[in-house]
Amino acid sequence: MDHLRQKIKIFRLLDKTLDLLLIILSIRFAIIFERILHSSPWYQLDSNSFNIIVLPFLLLIWYYLIKYNESDYLYRITPYKNYFTSVLFVTFLGLSTLISIKFLIKYDLFYRSTIVFFGCASFILLFLKRVFLKTILNKIRSYGIDQKHILIIGWDHKCKDLINQFEKNIEFGIVVKHIIDPLKISKKEYFKSIPISTDLNNLENIILNNAIDEVFITNSSKKNNTLNNIFSLLNACGVNYHVMVDSLGLKVDNDKLRIDPILGYFYGIPTISYHAIKADLYSLYIKNFLEKIFAFIILILSSPCIIIFSFLIKINSNGNIFFKQERIGLHGRKFYAIKLRTMINDAEDEKKKLLKLNELDGPAFKMENDPRVTFIGRFLRKYSFDELPQLINVIRGEMNLIGPRPLPVSEVKNMNDKSFLRRHSMKPGITGLWQVNGRTDVKNFDNWIKLDLEYIDNWSLWLDLKIAIKTIPTIIKGSGK
């Protein structure tokens, strides 16, 4: 699925839905004010005050007036004055239309006082909503919250047009982080503060260092093997990629790729898109929303346990109660995973002496009777209590409850198979297929990663539910080490 287009559609849908909800709220306020004006109980509904049959017509009138009048409005660049005059125009024309309908059908649909109160309430709420969104969206984007990081390969008019469109529509959170000019057309090192490089051999590092979510190819070498190499790397990294086409005469061997191309348009430019994961953005939003709610509830319920364990950790060994380690998240974003400390204070230094005793094949380190683990730490690991603080990571949006395990930076750097980078195309999770299918019995690092990739390729809300159910007996059995 095209997550960028879906993100834009979701934003617009929520924006219009909020308008309609505010209009309904305005009607309720108007009825309340009318009842108070006529010394009647404010909570009562009166069909003479406002007949419910008017509601669908009123919503349609306001919806199309707003859509027509604000079709080209963008929160970042549209002045407050324009929003004021727009809402004033919509309110005036909408009220005029309602009054005209009442006059023509000669039927008492509402009191004059009700419709006056409605006009005032709807104007105030709709205008304040636009002021609030314009302000808050600028704040959110300035702090870099919920951004999609873009890499553009190529330097031509399509590249510049794409950047200009992203800048105009900044409320969608789409930010160009880097440009690669493989044909060395540009003579500059920056375009609008966006760095420009020319070496495609550095593509992997650029993707990882900038946490790239989507790649747009506006022009490149017309050699098929070069394009296929680019596609193979992008597919391995688990990012979506789009080819902006005109008369390039592209011929790409799609049989060698894991995913099928989709032909569409992006800001009017013909585009061939390749999507790294099958999951659509709507389902992922539902997953993130539900998991944050459950994470918050679990965190509140488990807070007494966390307090007790924190006290036991403190009296059992010297050092901090919590252990923070830098890990790799969605598309290479780095964050600090929070856990209850289960090892001695200088565990990382002692690890170097134990590397030869590693029981896992690959860059990850695992040892069944690790001497660094404290007495209370063994109990916490056995029943996964040490992972409870990671609920904070879930609430902050860095992790999910269910997903691939978040790997430390060092382990990701030491991966030999670059196709494993695709495991970062979804947020990491506290639990997942690895935990409920063998967990510590999985000794081969490659098999561990393949379970993560299997989860990504087959993801659904139903799969998450099955993993969540299987996690409960896994924790009760105490299979952690």
**Contact yes or no for 96/119 (Cβ under 8 A):** no
**pLDDT digits over 191-229, tens only?**
888 999 888 888 888 988 888 988 988 875 555 567 778
| Judgement on whether residues 91 and 123 belong to the same structural domain of the protein | yes
pLDDT of 109: 75
pLDDT at 1: 45
What integer is the mean pLDDT of 352-380?
Answer: 75
Amino acid 103: pLDDT: 77
Q: Answer yes or no: do 121 and 231 share one domain.
A: no
pLDDT digits (tens, 9 = 90+) for 119-128: 999 999 999 9
Give the end of a domain, one of 142, 169, 187: 142
pLDDT of residue 124: 94
pLDDT digit string (tens) for 373-395? 888 988 888 888 999 999 999 99
pTM: 0.63
- pLDDT value, residue 360: 66
- Same domain assignment for residues 98 and 136: yes
Instruction: Give per-residue pLDDT as tens, 435-466.
Output: 777 655 656 777 778 888 888 888 888 999 99
Same domain, 214 and 293: no
Confidence at residue 303, expressed as pLDDT on a 0 to 100 scale: 92
SS3 for 196? strand
Helix crossing, 3-37 with 112-142: angle to 10°?
150
Mean per-residue pLDDT over the chain, rounded: 81
pLDDT at 264 over 70: no
The pLDDT assigned to 310 comes to 92
User: With 60 as the cut, is the pLDDT of residue 7 above it?
Assistant: yes
Mean pLDDT on 228-233: 81
Among 2-6, 162-166, 301-305, 347-351, which is the least confidently predicted range?
2-6
Q: Per-residue confidence at 409, pLDDT binned at 50, 70, 90?
A: confident
In angstroms, rounded to a whole number, what is the distance separating the alpha carbons of residues 84 and 95? 17
| DSSP one-letter code for 373 | B
Q: How confident is the model at residue 3 (pLDDT cuts 50, 70, 90)?
A: low
CA 163, distance to chain mean position in Å, is: 21
Instruction: Evaluate if residue 249 carries a pLDDT over 50.
Output: no
Identify whether residues 138 and 164 lie together within a single domain.
no
Average pLDDT rounded to a whole number, residues 142-162:
81
Task: Quote the CA–CA distance of 292 and 278 in Å, as a whole number.
Answer: 22
Residue after which a domain boundary falls, among 111, 142, 173: 142
Same domain, 138 and 159: no
Distances (CA, A) of 360 to 259, 423, 464: 31, 19, 27
Please tell me whether residues 308 and 389 are part of one structural domain: yes
Q: Give the confidence band of 306 by pLDDT, cuts at 50, 70, 90.
A: very high
- In terms of residue numbers, what domain contains 249? 148-274
Q: Are residues 82 and 25 in the same domain?
A: yes
Question: pLDDT at position 418, please?
Answer: 64
Number of domains within the chain? 3
The answer to whether residues 334 and 354 belong to one domain is yes
Inter-CA distances, 99 with 60, 62, 90, 259, Å = 15, 14, 14, 56
The CATH number linked to 240 is 3.40.50.720
Whether residue 62 contacts residue 90, with contact meaning beta carbons closer than 8 Å, is answered with yes
- Is residue 247 over pLDDT 50? no
pLDDT at 265: 60
Tell me what pLDDT residue 73 has.
76
In the listed set 107, 142, 177, which residue is the last one of a domain according to the structure? 142
Dist CA 275 CA 214 (whole Å): 9
- What backbone torsions phi and psi does residue 408 show, to the nearest 5 degrees? -60, 155
pLDDT, average across residues 160-189: 82
Task: Return the closest-CA partner of residue 158 out of 227, 203, 220.
Answer: 220
Residues 398 and 463 in one domain: yes
Q: What is the DSSP string of 36-95?
A: HHTTS-TT---TTTB-TTHHHHHHHHHHHHHHHHTTT--TTTS-HHHHHHHHHHHHHHHH
Percentage of residues of the chain with pLDDT beyond 70: 81
Picking from 22-31, 272-281, 309-318, 419-428, which range would have the lowest pLDDT averaged per residue? 272-281
Same domain, 463 and 363: yes
**DSSP character at residue 152:** E
Residues 251 and 317 in one domain: no
| pLDDT at 141 (0 to 100) | 63
Specify whether the CB–CB gap between 278 and 390 falls below 8 A.
no
Distances in Å between the alpha carbon of 270 and those of 54, 172, 247?
43, 21, 10
The reported pLDDT for the residue numbered 76 is: 67
